[in-house]
Amino acid sequence: MNIHEYQAKELFRKYDVLVPEGHVAHNASQALSIAEQIDGERWVVKAQIHAGGRGKGGGVKVTDQVEEVGQLADQLIGAPLVTPQTGPNGRTVHRVLIEQAQDIAHEYYLSLLIDRASQRITVIASDAGGMDIEQVAANTPDKIVREAIDPAIGLQDFQCRKIANGIGLRSKQIHALTGMLKRLYRCFRDSDAQLLEINPLARLDNGKLVALDAKMNFDDNALFRHPDITDLRDFDEEDPKEVDASGHDLSYIALDGDVGCIVNGAGLAMATMDAISYYGGMPANFLDVGGGASPEKIANAFRIVLEDPHVKSVMLNIFAGINRCDWIAEGIVQAIRDQHIATPVIVRLAGTNVEQGKAILADSGLNYIEANKLDDAARKAVAAAKGENA
């Protein structure tokens, strides 16, 4: 799960990690009154969306006129913001962060993440901050410092000094970075984070090190331990179909194609998507209904898949072990009948109670296309999406 920059900065404050003075605003008048309460001569208005590259997309504005803060907030809120990470349609901005502007001497990159190879929380830092870190890694890999943390002893002083030296910090700031890194490590570990990224980490004209940007991402499987973090979830940033699906215990991920998929098991769902691509089609989604799916769950899966207006055919691929083909078939009949589905539905059933399942479908008198094997089903689903006869 992702959170907004202002939420990550609030979490940083709890761990005494230095961030600029600031507060979130939902409209122009809030933005102005927040700016009036913040000391300083310049203010930053930052669009809050779950995507980076906001600076490049015009989502970060600086002004030295406090009266202008309201107008800048007004321009951003309610409008879509397109950045290199949002795709061409952008994301609608619902909130802005109002901050005291900082006088930046230098921008560094700093992150903590779980390195799956070493299975350790790893610090990544660079002297080349403020820009795309993937690009820095590709063009100038020597500008990147990595340090893996041993979970039994935690982050050590010598490692902090190594990181600080690696990005070219001097005496006083080495000490400051050591303190900051230790607090960030605790923040990361205590919250079961997967990623904590500060880009840029700024060295100010006065020598202080401040987190100017903040991005955090948490392990969904650990959220049950963190109700306070779970509360930070912003449904505006998620695909409504994905939110709907998770409420019905369905793993659904929207994709760009036109062949809808309803499958049991993540592995079979991936294989189904591969087969669709192999026959020249494009899957419209990933969907795993899981084990022991009830007829209602299958009907909900149809409803969610067909909410995507691009879907031209639906491929149902069930290899029932824990599942029961008769329940699946009842769900298909319910869906086609109650939702008045006119989109071609391709059904491949195998495994537990397959004969009962096929009989339920045949007796229903409804329109569907039967398939026997995975590739037969994929071929028919792709053809149906193209309006051809399979």
CA distance 250 to 224: 18
Q: Which is nearer to Mn ion, 178 or 199 (CB)?
A: 199
Fill in the amino acid letter for 277: S
Amino acid in the structure at residue 179: G
Q: What backbone torsions phi and psi does residue 271 show, to the nearest 5 degrees?
A: -65, -35
Residue nearest to ligand GDP (CB): 55
* Helix intervals (H) in the chain: 5-14, 28-37, 68-76, 133-139, 157-166, 171-190, 227-230, 240-247, 266-278, 295-306, 325-338, 354-364, 374-385
79 contact, one of ligand GDP, Mn ion, none, CB 5-8 Å limit per kind = none
Q: How far is the CB of 76 from Mn ion (least distance, A)?
A: 16
Q: Name the catalytic one among 107, 197, 252, 330.
A: 197
Q: Is the Cα dihedral 382, 270, 260, 293 positive or negative?
A: positive
What does 216 bind: Mn ion, ligand GDP, none (CB cut-off 5 to 8 Å by kind)?
none
> Is the CB of residue 378 less than 8 Å from the CB of residue 345?
no
Per partner kind, with CB cut-offs from 5 to 8 A, the member of Mn ion, ligand GDP, none near residue 90 is: none
**In the complex with Mn ion, which residue's Cβ is closer, 17 or 306?**
17
To ligand GDP, the closest distance from the beta carbon of 39 in angstroms equals: 13
Active site residue 109: yes
Distance, in Å, from the CA atom of 47 to the CA atom of 167, rounded to the nearest integer, reads 29
Nearest distance from residue 231's CB to Mn ion, in Å?
24
Residue nearest to Mn ion (CB): 213
Q: Provide the β-strand partners of residue 76.
A: none
Q: Where along the sequence are the contacts to ligand GDP (CB under 6 A)?
A: 20, 44, 52-55, 60, 62, 101-102, 104, 107, 130, 199-200, 212-213
**Annotated catalytic, 197?**
yes
Closest CB to ligand GDP among residues 52, 331: 52
160 backbone φψ class: left, alpha, beta (φ>0; ψ -120 to 50): alpha
Stretch of 30-38, 137-145, 169-177, 210-218 contacting Mn ion, by CB under 5 A? 210-218
Backbone angles phi, psi at 261, to 5 degrees: -130, 135
How far apart are CB 80 and ligand GDP at their closest, in Å? 15
Residue 126 touches Mn ion, criterion: CB under 5 A: no
Q: Is 2 in the site for Mn ion (CB under 5 A)?
A: no
User: Quick one: which segment of 43-51, 194-202, 302-310, 320-328 binds Mn ion (CB under 5 A)?
Assistant: 194-202
Question: How many Cα atoms within 13 Å fall on the side-chain side of residue 241?
Answer: 18
101 contact choice in ligand GDP, Mn ion, none (CB below 5 to 8 Å, kind-dependent): ligand GDP
Q: Which of 199, 264, 272, 285 binds Mn ion (CB under 5 A)?
A: 199
Q: Residue 65 Cβ, how far from ligand GDP at the closest point, in Å?
A: 15
Helices and strands of the chain, counted as H and E runs: 13, 18
With respect to ligand GDP, which residue has the nearer C-beta, 32 or 49? 49
Chosen from Mn ion, ligand GDP, none, partner binding at 130 (C-beta under 5 to 8 Å by type): ligand GDP
State which residue, 104 or 136, has the beta carbon closest to ligand GDP: 104
Q: Does 213 bind Mn ion (CB under 5 A)?
A: yes
Judged on CB neighbours under 10 Å (0-12, 13-18, 19+), 304 is buried
Pairing of strands 96-100, 43-47: antiparallel
Cβ neighbours for 110, distance < 8 A, ≥ 6 positions apart: 123, 124, 125, 129, 184, 197, 198, 199, 201
Catalytic residue numbers, as ranges: 109, 197
Binding residues (CB under 5 A) for Mn ion: these are: 199, 213
